[in-house]
Structure 1
Amino acid sequence: MAAIASDNHGLRLIMRYVVLTLIAIIFIFPLVFMVMSSLKPDLQLLRDTSSIRAFLPVGDVSFDNYTAAFNRAPVATFIFNSVLVTGVTVLLSLLFCSLAAFSFVFMNWKGRDVLLSIVLATLIVPFETIAIPLLLLVSKLPWIGFEGFEIGWLNTYRVQVIPWIADGLTIFLFVQFFKDLPSDLIEASRVEGASWWQIYRRVVMPLAGPVIATAAILKFLVMYNQYLWPLIVVQQETYRPVMVGLGYYFQLNPAWGEIMAYLTVITVPVLAFYLVLQRAFIASIASTGVKG
C-alpha cells in the first residue's frame, strides 16, 4: 500500500510539473516571437508569422532592426525617463500608501471609516473622467525648484510622478495585510512605550514583505505602461516615456522589425524588476513566521 501511495504521489507530481511547464511555454511564446521577429526584415517577419518559423531564428537574421530603432528615436532617453518616473513613483507610493493604511488600521480617529470608504470608492472612477480637470489643475500649480519659482508642471518629471503617488488599490492592499497581523504585536509595542512611527518602521513594515512586493509589481506595471497621461502633459522629447516613444515607429509606414526591436529593449527593465521583486517576495515569505 505504501508503494502504491508513493507511486501515485510521484505520478501526480509529474503531471503537475507537466501542466506548469505547458502553462509557462504558453506565456513565454509571445516573448520568443517578439525577440525572433526583432531579428528579421519586415517581409520575412510577415511571411514567417504563418508558420513555426516565427518562433525560430531562421532566415536573414541580424541586429539591423535594433540599430535602425535607436537611430529613429532616442530610445535610451525614453527608457531612462520611464525607469526614473516609475522607480520614484513606486518608492513614494509604497511609503505614503503604507502610512495611510497603517493609520486606517491601527489608529483610532474621527471619520476614519468614512475616509477609507471614499478612498476605496476611487477604484471605480475611470482616469479618463478626471484627465482634463487634472490637466487644468497641474497647468496652473506653482512650483519652487532649483530654477526658482514657476507656474505650471507641464513638461516635467513631477507631473508624471506626483499625481500617481497615492492610489486606492495600493492602500487597500496594505489595509488588508495589516488587518491580518496579530494585534498582540501592536499592543505589546505600545505597552513597551514605542511610538507609532517606531511600530510602523520596526514592527509592521519588516513583516510586510509580501504585500510590498505585490504592490510594487502592480504599481510598476501601471506606471511603466503609462501612455495617455504622459501624452497629454509632456510635449518635449526630453521627458517622454517609452509608451509615448512607441508612436515614433508608426509614422508613415510602420516598421514592424523596428517595432519588435523597440519592444524587446523596453521589456528588459520590466523583466529585471520582476526578477528582483520575485526574489524579495520569496525571501520575505521564507523569513516571516507570523500568521494572521
Structure 2
Amino acid sequence: MSEPEVLDVEWLKRNPLPHHSDDGDKEDRGRLLVIGGSRELAGAALLAGVAGLRAGAGKLQIATAASIAIHISVAVPEARVIGLEETAEGCIATSEIDRILGWAKDAQAILLGCGLQHGAPLGKLLDRLFETGLEVPLVLDAAVLGSLAERAEALKDWPGGAMLLPHAGEMARLLGTDRDAVYADPLAAARQAAERYGAVTLIKGEYSHIVAPDGRAVRFKGGGVGLATSGSGDTLAGIVGGLAARGADPFTAVSWGVHLHGEAGRTLSRDVGRVGFLARELLDLVPGLMFD
C-alpha cells in the first residue's frame, strides 16, 4: 500500500474547496446542523457551531439541550438554536428524535457528538438516523464514537459519506484494541477504521493521518502541543462540518479541516505562546487561512 501524501499547500491547491461566486447567497454555502451540547458541556456545541460558520457554512442550526439553548442562542446570534428535552442524566430524550430527524433532512451536513452525553438515548438516535439513509455528509466525533462499534455495518451503508475524528483512545474503542496499539502504528489504525466503517478517518497526533475508504491517505505535521487543549477537538469538528456543508467531499473536508486547524494553532504558537492559547482563539484565524 502506498505511503500517504504530504498534506501541505501544494496538496490543497490540487484539491481545492468549492468556489462560491461573489453574487451567491448563504443558501449556496449550505446549512450545517450541529447536534451537540449538554448541561455540563454547553461550550462544545458553541465552539463547533462557530467553527462551522468560520469555515464558511451559510447557515447554522444547533440542536442542543433545552437547559442551555437560550444561552447558546445569545452567545451565537447567527445560529438557529433548537432546545431539546433532556433526561435526568443529561442525554437528549428519545421523544425528541423525530424532531431532530426533521431538521436533519434539510441540512447539507450534520455534525453529531460534540458535548453529548453517553447513554441509551444516543444509541437510539444513531439507529434512527442511520435508518433514514439521508444523502447528507455526516461528521461524527466525541461521545458518538463510543457507540459505533456495534453499528459499523449501518454506518458503512450511509449514502452521504461519513467522517470520523477520533483521538487515540477513541480509535482504540472503534477498533476494539488498546491505545498502545494505536500509538504504535496510527496510520494502520486509521486504515483499519476507514475500511471497517466505510468512513474517512482521522487519527490525531503530532502527525495526523487521514485515510479514505478507497485507500487514499495524507499526513499532516501537527500545529503544535498547544492544540492539545480543551475544546480543540470541537473546533476541528466544526471546521470539517462547515466545509462539508459548503459542498466539499468528505476526504477534502477532513484534510482541509486538519490543515486549517493546524495552521491556526501554529500561528497562535508563534504569536501567543507555545502553550496556553484557547480553543476559541483558533476560530478567528480560519477565514484568513482559506483559499480557493
TM-score of Structure 1 vs Structure 2, range by shorter chain: under 0.3
- The structure with the largest helix share of the pair is 1
| Structure ranking higher on relative contact order (CA contacts 8 Å, 6+ apart) | 1
Q: Output the TM-score relative to the length of structure 2.
A: 0.21
Larger radius of gyration between Structure 1 and Structure 2: 1
